[in-house]
Amino acid sequence: MRTNSTRNEVVSASRRSPRWSRYRLGGLSGVAFAICFFCYLTLVDVPDVSTTRQATIAFYQNPSNAVGPIVSVYVGAAAAALFLTFMLALAADLRRRDRRTARSTLICSGTVFVALQMAASALFAAPAFAVRLNNEPVTIDSDFAVGARTASFIGDAVLLYVAVFAAAGFVASAAWAGHADRSWPRWLVVVSVVVATALVTPLVFFSLLAFLLWCLVVGTRMMLIRPRNSSTPELGGIEISRER
C-alpha cells in the first residue's frame, strides 16, 4: 500500500511540474495552430493570375469580398503566435534532451516559416487594405487588377513554394531528434519523413494540409504523453522527471 501511494505521489508531482505544464501548453498550441492556420487558408481565397481582369475588378468592387483578406491577416498573426509557442516547447524539450543541432535547425526553420507566412499574408491582403482602409479613394481599374493579381501570385509562391521548405526542415529536425534518442515511436518518425518529403515536392496545397495534420498529431501527443527525460532516476519501476 505504501509503495503504491509513493508511486501515485511521484506521478502526480511529475504531472504538476512546471516543465510538464509548459510542454502540454506547447502541444495545445500546436493543435490550435493547425486549426487556426486552416481557417487562415480558407480566408485568403483572392483573385490570382488565373482570374481575369474583369473578374478581379468585380471582386474588389464588392465591399464584402475585402473582409476575408483583411480578417486573414489577424487570423494568420494568431496562427503565427501559436506556432511559435509550439516551436519553443519542442525546442525546450530538445535542449533538455541535449539535441543541440536538431534544436538549432528546428528554431531556424520555424522562424523562417513564420516570417514567410506573414509576408504572404501581407501580399494577399494588400489590395483589400488599399480598397477598404485607405484614407483616399482608390480607383479599381485595370491597373489595380494587374497589381492585385500580381500580389496574389507572389503570395502563393512565397507560401506554397518557399515556406514549405522551412516547414520541411522543422518536421525533419524534430523527427531526426526523436529517432536519434528513440523518444518518438517508429510510426511517428515514419509519418514525419513522409510529411517532410511531401513538403518539398510540388503538391502545393496538399503538402500544407499534411503539415497541419502533423502538427495536430504531435501536439496531441505532447498533451497526453509526458516528455522523456534523458536522466530519469527510477523509484519502484516508475520514472521520475527531474528539473534541471
Domain range list for the chain: 14-231
- pTM for the structure as a whole: 0.82
Average pLDDT over residues 163-176: 95
- The better pLDDT of the pair 14, 131 is held by 131
Lowest mean pLDDT among 95-99, 209-213, 218-222: 95-99
Residues sharing a CB contact under 8 Å with residue 142, sequence separation 6 or more, in sequence order: 53, 57
Strand partners, 234: 239
Band the pLDDT of 140: cuts 50, 70, 90.
Answer: confident
Instruction: Check pLDDT > 50 for residue 87.
Output: yes
Instruction: Check pLDDT > 90 for residue 40.
Output: yes
- Are 55 and 47 in contact by the 8 Å Cβ rule? The answer is yes
Band the pLDDT of 244: cuts 50, 70, 90.
Answer: very low
DSSP 162-214: IHHHHHHHHHHHHHHHHHHTT-S-HHHHHHHHHHHHHHTTT-THHHHHHHHHH
Instruction: Check pLDDT > 90 for residue 137.
Output: no
